[in-house]
Structure 1
């Protein structure tokens, strides 16, 4: 990542939601950014998938009683020069959000991957997690997402493979069970030393 490029997290609102959808349509596949929507060509941004993307965020982070907090990821300097390139989220693992653990999630547009943006975002997300009172974050990805697995390891996590039906559900076809990789990240109790990326609150 260019050292002059600022990475910012801004809490998702209706004003940013349209820009987030535009970033997803232009630079990511539907399955990378939201649950699957039935229909032909799962990689196509149909009208129904665009509507489902909006419903998904409005029902979770923009609801009257949100179940998670979503942040738009922006790169660039100043409001006029910032571009939405993805999203990050924190979802409490305990009912009511009063616990010390949360699941973290992140997606970035293809053109912004492999440039250090993801690492900067996770550093900011850890700060937000600390401010919210969380002490550990669960990082979950897929084995083929090598960059995400390496990022979790670089941040002190110990990635471990987990079967999708590890909870004992054996009804599914064993040949189609998806394996996931999980890692726990410790949330620093204090702000790390050194240069900081922007963590603008809004």
Structure 2
């Protein structure tokens, strides 16, 4: 009888200079360039500058760097994972950690933007209860967060 593999331990660490270097190595060894950078990435220096400029977390799976996730002050998020970390529930775990972080930060919702052909991202977004809206080949996702202590009050429009 086959015993299922235990779920990986997933955690987030604020992205710092050593983390950017670890992320670069994972990007080069275990990711597609179009997953980790805008089109035109040609140098390691461009990669470093891109990640220094964003509020992001290093994704750790069982203590090893496996990708990144960003969370902007306005609640916009996005992530990429190394190929070796995909398909084992890591994406869903990362998004749940981001939602918890966003709730503690007082955000009202987390927003994501993907495409209709990104089946893995859509599956993760659906699994955590995102409201999806399709516009052509673009899919906009909203993950409302619970009201609670520390939540920013709604404006006069209720948003």
Moved over 3 A (4+): 1-4
Deviation at 1:51, TM superposition (A): 1.9
CA distance in 2, matches of 1:110, 1:161: 26
Of residues 44, 51, 57, the one that matches 1:50 is 44
Instruction: Name the counterpart of 1:87.
Output: 68
1:3/1:14 Cα in 2 relative to 1: closer, same or farther (>3 Å)? same
Show CA shifts across 1:72-121 (max 9, x none).
Answer: 00011xxxxx210000011133xxxxxxxx11111101111111000000
| Structure 2 contact 68–79 (Cα < 8 Å) conserved | yes
Of residues 102, 110, 133, the one that matches 2:83 is 110
* Mapping of residues 13-28 of structure 1, within 5 Å: 13-28=16-31
TM-score, with structure 1 as normaliser: 0.67
Instruction: Name the counterpart of 1:73.
Output: 59
* RMSD over aligned Cα atoms: 1.8
Deviation at 1:189, TM superposition (A): 4.3
Q: Which has the higher contact order (CA 8 A, sep 6+)?
A: 1
Provide the aligned length of Structure 1 versus Structure 2: 145
Gaps of 5+ in 1: 39-47, 62-68, 77-81, 94-101, 164-178, 191-202
Gaps of 5+ in 2: 149-159
Q: Is 2:10 the partner of 1:29?
A: no
> For 1:123, what is the secondary structure of its paired residue?
helix
Deviation at 1:2, TM superposition (A): 4.4
Deviation at 1:32, TM superposition (A): 0.6
CA distance in 1, matches of 2:40, 2:15: 22
